[in-house]
Amino acid sequence: MKISIITSVYNNKETISEAIESVLSQTYDNIEYIVVDGASTDGTVDIIQRYADKITTFVSEPDKGIYDGLNKGVALATGEVVGFLHSDDLFEDENVVVKIAEAFKTNGTESIYGDLTYVTKEDTSKVVRYWKSGQFTYKKLKRGWMPPHPTFYVKREVYEKYGAFDISFKIAADYDSILRFLGWEKISTHYIPEVLVKMRIGGASNKSLKNLIQKSREDLKAMKNNGVGHIGSLFVKNVSKVPQFFRR
């Protein structure tokens, strides 16, 4: 099973090499690695080119944001399964993709997901928030539950059937796609009860009050678009994050 991993990046020379090396360190031997750069101007491209012989496909050109970049990656992917590792993120260990492949083979589902930790920018071993997903149910989805998108791996044929990311969303296109796949289209999924990805804190969705408000509006739009959830679901979705700061 070929697994396509996509990194979309723009002006992130500080951590892009760590993300690339995290992918290259994986012990799974059939990875297609696609890096899509949005025409960075800070030296990111120079760093990526150091790994040119180890990256399957590299594109650098202007885009309309991270979701446009991810869409380009999905269009380029040839693997049976597609997943993402953002330029600030790291795999938990070198065997994560092996676990993902085994989960697909064993369970025969159209998607899998796992747990995620938020870590500090300076020390990626320091956990700030532990996102323990738990088992999926449609009832939980309607009440605001979602799996961490960086751990969500999906059969490429699902993207071909139901589309990739709606770039009219600036922050919540990942949530919209999850609701479309698991809620509207009801694809099958399987939970790996382990941490798969470490994400540095400080992402776009929570870097300012303005972004938090925009994300809430986009979450509601995603719920409405896919017929899953309501204003009460948004409240539960946000409140359910609080225990993640105390769980280790």
Domain ranges of the chain: 3-245
**Contact between 26 and 98 (Cβ < 8 Å):** yes
- What value, to the nearest 5°, has the Cα angle with vertex 40 and ends 37 and 43? 115
Residue 229 confidence (pLDDT)? 80
CB atoms within 10 A of CB 75: 12
- Specify the pairing of strand 111-119 against strand 190-200: parallel
- What value, to the nearest 5°, has the Cα angle with vertex 123 and ends 153 and 119? 40
**Contact between 200 and 120 (Cβ < 8 Å):** yes
d(CA 17, CA 23): 10
Phi, psi of 112 (to 5 degrees): -140, 160
Residue 232 confidence (pLDDT)? 80
95 residue type, one letter: N
Residue 204 confidence (pLDDT)? 54
The 3-state DSSP composition of the chain as helix, strand, coil percent (nearest 5) reads 40, 20, 40
Q: Name the average pLDDT for the chain.
A: 93
pTM to 2 decimals? 0.92
For 130, the enclosing helix (H) or strand (E) is strand 127-131
Residue 209 confidence (pLDDT)? 67
Residue 148 confidence (pLDDT)? 97
DSSP string covering 206-218? GSSHHHHHHHHHH
Residue 233 confidence (pLDDT)? 77
Length of the chain: 248
Residue 187 confidence (pLDDT)? 98
> Which class would CATH give 3-245?
alpha beta
Residues in the chain where the model's pLDDT stays below 50:
205
